[in-house]
A and B are shown apart, each in its own frame.
Chain A
Amino acid sequence: MADTVYRRASPKSAIISIENLHKRFGPLHVLRGINLEVAPGEKICVVGPSGSGKSTLLRCVNFLEEPSDGRVFLDGRPMGFIEEPGGRRRRDSEANINRMRARVGMVFQNFNLWTHMTVVRNVVEAPIYVKGLAREKAYTLAEKLLARVGLSDKVHAYPSQLSGGQQQRVAIARALAMEPEIILFDEPTSALDPELVGEVLEVMRDLARDGMTMLVVTHEMGFAADVADRIIFMDHGVIVEESPPEVFFQRPKSERATQFLAKLSSRAPV
């Protein structure tokens, strides 16, 4: 692993802290020992070639995938597992896992809006049924959030009536409605037509300015360069390089990052 030049959040203050994370799917070793800490307010972009394990990393953070080895801490508490005396671990109760997931927002590549519900019901669903928020409060909150992502006029539309960009903005509002401490973005613009990417990135920039803690897997290098405090470059299941954006994009330290960036710029001029 590369040396850390950039200041790392101290373990105590970190919102998310990942220690030696491994994930195997049968014979496939997708994550091979990931260590990462995310401090409050920090924006981290994870980049790398496809198949490098970026999405799996995010899915392990909120336990949508069960890590094969290693630990994830949310606010100092181990996520998904309970350590027993003697070093053995067992799966935490479902209720505990859900409580912790509720504090971590997630935005998916394919939006995953609930297709049988209107936009506003997508947003109020989890606050009402998971957090027990009163209906009126949830709807007021939802309308505020939908206004924030610029979709006040689509409150009662169904997801299938919206463009991809609009759907992704609803998904961001849905994540925000739980008032999460961090939001995980799993390639939020990869499924969008090019002309719709901008509106989603704009909402994300807005969130970043507001101080939201964000862990973003993305191929949008411009966004990463603008917004990220740190760039994590992953390849073959390991973090190859971890640098501030100005370092990463101007003079990457690793050979593989250099090749990766060269390939990108040859494909589409930045």
Chain B
Amino acid sequence: MTFEPRYVVQALPFLIRGARLTLEVSLFAIALGLVVGVLLTIIRQSRIKPLEAAASIYISLMRGTPLFIQILIVYFGLSEIGVDLPRFLAGVIALSLNSGAYITEMIRGGLTAIPPGQRDAAKALGMPNRYLWGHILLPQVLFLIMPPLTIEFTGLLKASALLSVIGVVELTRTSQEIIIGTFRPVELWLTAATFYFVMCFVLGAVARRFERVAAAYRA
């Protein structure tokens, strides 16, 4: 079997649409994941023991089991309890629930980089907790975790390929569907891989840039 470029050319418009959906689903997932991560952080700082324990178990489960299984549980679980969500939304939810567990660890790391004196200063000024977190800590943390967050985003971009299994027509699913019609796996898979590679490579370069800026801020 040879490599026939014309099949690539033919598929290109569809693959580009698929890649757009891959980017969109990842973007929604990282945004929602950030929300989950912040919520988990707040719960873990809440000093309410049962809540803290629940958060710990949640994080351990999310990090200790395959994302693939998590996606399937969310997808089947939602329909089982009668929530009929679009596949796209189910995918975003599954990815962000998983991502949140990793992001909260990043936030934890970022918090340790902020000198404790800043908290003391805020408290000395009589600032309520809400302000301390909303105006002092989180803005700085979000800036500090930009480099790992970008890497997490590339991780989600790659992980979103798994959403093809629940029928989200992103890049991988698009390729599969074209292959079913054309029987050209070589052209399609190599092209799809190239698409992913370019996206991740560019994001990797962005992450390194962020890292330099963040390093300068820390110093």
Asked whether the complex places CB atoms of A and B closer than 8 A, the reply is no
